[in-house]
Amino acid sequence: TGADNGSISHIVVQGDTMTLRRFNDTAHLIDQDPLAAAALPT
């Protein structure tokens, strides 16, 4: 379940501060798609 695109699912905003609390990690996709590793920044 959930997205496979690294989408943000939970942001907390307090005043001028935004904190990323949850996101979908895409590291598991590298094993499935050899081209995905080439797209990652080094």
**Res 19: pLDDT:** 86
Q: Indicate the pTM of the whole model.
A: 0.38
Q: How far from 10 is each of 14, 16, 18, 21, 36, CA to CA, in Å? A: 13, 17, 10, 5, 25
**Res 20: pLDDT:** 78
d(CA 24, CA 34): 19
**Res 14: pLDDT:** 93
pLDDT by residue, tens only, the chain of 42 residues: 555 566 767 888 999 998 878 776 666 655 655 565 566 565
Q: Which of 33, 31, 28 is nearest to 4 (CA)?
A: 28
CA angle 10, 20, 4 (to 5 degrees): 60
Q: Domain spans of the chain?
A: 1-34
**Res 30: pLDDT:** 59
Q: Which of 19, 22, 18, 17 is nearest to 6 (CA)?
A: 22
